[in-house]
A and B are shown apart, each in its own frame.
Chain A
Amino acid sequence: MMKNKLISIPVFLFYFLPISGHQNKDTTNENTGIVKISFVNTIKGKPVELNTARYINPFAEEYSVSKLKYYISHVSLAFNTGIIKEDESYHLVDESKADALSFSFAVKAGTYHSLSFMLGVDSLKNVSGAQTGALDPLNDMFWTWNSGYIMAKLEGSSPQSKVVNNKVEFHIGGFCGVDNVLKNISLNFPSALNIPEGKTGEIIVEADIDKWWQQPNDIKITEHPVCTTPGALAKKIADNYSKMFTIKKVITN
């Protein structure tokens, strides 16, 4: 009984405070809505099933996916006369966590026509010491022996892989000089997204994981089951996966 009461107080506070915050904003700022950006990771048009599903890559190699994570940062939305940038914009998309497949932030009410973001973590954050939130090294996306973030991670297995336990392991990183794998992605909406005041506009981004294997570079599991250091191979894989995103649809809720 006592425990229930204790829990109800913070929940109640939480409920109340945002409303007063919102009212303040309305009187002083422009009208705002919310944009929600959702990522759907797919292979052959179907959402990725971790561990259980068997997939065939373009080179007829069979593989499964056990881990799929990537950083989305510096998110911005464009309207006709300008752009809106998210503050402190760092998100880790993680296929294994339902709450790590989308994020939301407040934007000026209006009509938007494209989404831009960086795939990865900018060089400055790679050299600025211990970070927290999405960039916390606890997320297992930070190299401890060669400081820097793993920008994207794909792990699984394949009978074509000759390394231990038939592993397939791509940890793609590198933020400076010739090893830089950072990618700026810009995606136009199929139709304009209207976000009226107080409403949520949702952008559903599809990431086709099959794109990791080719275009422009052929990555065959028999040749390259593992890539866990910055360098030429990581750059080739990043060139491929930079083309995995499309806007599936935009919806005004």
Chain B
Amino acid sequence: MLWLSTMLSALLIGSADKTSAKQAVNSIPDYLEFKIPAGWPKPATDIFAKNRLSEQGFQLGKKLFYDGRLSKDGNFPCASCHQQFAAFASYEHDFSHGFDNSFTTRNAPGLFNLAWMTKLHWDGGINHIEVQPLSPITAPNEMAATLDSVLYKLKKDTAYPKLFKAAFGTAEINSQRMLKALAQFTGSIVSSNSKYDKVQRGEATFTYSEQNGYTLFKAKCAACHKEPLFTDNSFRNTGLAVNPFLKDYGRMRITNDPNDSLKFRVPSLRNVKLTFPYSHDGRFYSLGAMIDHYRTGIITTQPNVDPLLVNRIAISNTEKNDLIYFLNTLTDTTMTRNPRFAQ
């Protein structure tokens, strides 16, 4: 009996070995290198250090990003609020639409250069790109699903097991793999080919107005909207009145620190022409209105108003126009029209 079982197990192990060897050959993904644009700082942490970027992982992440089945009723893929032509923000919407005719409570930010972001969301509540999708997937006013139900749908699908195997070596579908694949897609979206970038590389020149705007920008805006990412990744109170409906106090909700009252993320200004309306609740519908807030709208009596803004920012009408000309040079159609990021 022992002899028989030894024989049988040897046989089984033998065949199992062969199968796994074959699987291994088939399922090593094509690893990719994440390229940092010339002259840019290295990201503070490498988001791909424990999630090795591969072509198959990226493609799986892209399919998930555009798949409505990640939402409760199938109508709200990630891409419903994050539209490529709007630099992956919600075009022309202060709040995005969620499940059952609901609104989100904050303006959907563009998704690009996420690899350089240390915290995500307007309040910085998300500490890692991989765990961010848990928030919109489960929020009742966004995708309104449960993680359980999403994984159930993916497992029942005929294509996904193969795609998970191609990306991760085996067909197992779990939350960790789904989240890592999404991070491979969203983390790979880099915006670094705007006219501004071309000027920096000596491939283009600013017009007279754009150059004036850039000079002004460096003098009056770049302390927070720091080049080349056009954000310093900090949270600041820009003297906005509290939205009476939302009563959103921003970062204080995360830190419980009254000093963080009404502080919100300094957003990147890359692709800013496409990501209107502006601010955490989308209250400013144009760049002009946003700039006017800094010129005349800041409530300087609010506690915690950023020290750089307590005297508002002096910008003349001509300067304002030039500034808008400059900000329009931050639009990167190479990214917004790149078929690699498209459905």
Contact = CB atoms under 8 A, between A and B. Distances in A.
Interface of A: 9, 12-13, 16-17, 126-132, 136-138, 142, 144-148, 179, 229-232
Interface in B163-183: 174-176, 179-180, 183
Contacts of A147: 125-128, 131
Given A9-B12, A13-B12, A16-B9, A132 B127 contact: no
Interface of B: 5, 8-9, 12-13, 47, 50-51, 121, 125-131, 134-135, 137-139, 147-148, 151, 174-176, 179-180, 183, 253-254, 256
Given A9-B12, A130-B128, A147-B128, 11 more contacts: A13-B12, A127-B128, A129-B47, A129-B128, A129-B131, A129-B179, A130-B131, A137-B147, A144-B135, A145-B139, A147-B125
A179 B183 contact: no
Contacts of A16: 5, 9
A148 B127 contact: yes
Nearest to B138: A144
Contacts of B256: 179, 229-232
B144 to A, nearest CB: 12
B21 to A, nearest CB: 18
24 contacts: A12-B5, A12-B9, A126-B127, A127-B127, A129-B50, A129-B51, A129-B128, A129-B130, A129-B179, A129-B180, A130-B131, A130-B175, A130-B180, A131-B176, A137-B134, A137-B147, A138-B175, A144-B139, A145-B139, A146-B253, A147-B127, A147-B128, A147-B131, A231-B256
A13 B134 CA distance: 38
A63 to B, nearest CB: 27
A150 B147 CA distance: 17
Nearest to A174: B256
Contacts of B130: 129-130
Given A136-B175, A137-B147, A179-B256, A142 B12 contact: no
A195 B188 CA distance: 52
Contact of B176 (A12, A132, A229, A232): A132
Which of A142, A147, A229 has the most chain B CB atoms closer than 10 A to its own CB? A147
B129 A129 contact: yes
B174 A136 contact: yes
A138 B148 contact: yes
Contacts of A145: 121, 125, 135, 139
Leading 9 A-B pairs by shortest Cβ distance:
A129-B130, A130-B179, A130-B130, A132-B176, A147-B127, A144-B134, A129-B128, A144-B135, A146-B125
Contact of B254 (A12, A129, A136, A146): A146
Contacts of B50: 128-129
B64 to A, nearest CB: 13
B175 A128 contact: no
A142 B179 CA distance: 14
A65 B164 CA distance: 39
A135 to B, nearest CB: 9
Contacts of A231: 256
Which of B131, B139, B253, B254 has the most chain A CB atoms closer than 10 A to its own CB? B131
B60 to A, nearest CB: 14
Contacts of B138: 144
A23 to B, nearest CB: 13
A148 B126 CA distance: 9
